[in-house]
């Protein structure tokens, strides 16, 4: 069994990343962290987009 056989599907991984990065963005709500929060929110949105991609071959393209 290779590592890729045990890895979760890319959409599951992206969903997890979106959740974690969303929490980090919330922590970056303080002063002088506007750019950091923005970047984290962009990463969250990108991960959500991957997690919600419903094209049939999208998981194969991400490996």
Q: Would you kindly state where each structural domain of the chain is located, as residue ranges?
A: 22-53
Under the banding of pLDDT at 50, 70 and 90, the label for residue 47 is: very high
pLDDT tens, 1-45? Answer: 455 668 899 999 999 999 999 999 999 998 999 999 999 999 999
What pLDDT is recorded for position 1? 45
pTM: 0.74
Q: Which residues contact 36 (CB under 8 A, 6 or more apart)?
A: 28
Residue written as token pair 């919330």: 26
How far apart CA 1 and CA 28 sit, in angstroms, is 40
The confidence score (pLDDT) of residue 57 equals: 58
């Amino acid at each position: 069994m290779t590592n890729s056989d045990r890895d979760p599907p890319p959409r599951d991984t992206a969903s997890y990343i979106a959740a974690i990065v969303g929490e980090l963005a919330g922590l970056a709500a303080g002063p002088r962290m506007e750019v950091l929060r923005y970047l984290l929110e962009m990463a969250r949105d990108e991960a959500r987009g991957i997690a919600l991609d419903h094209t049939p071959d999208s998981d194969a393209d991400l490996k």
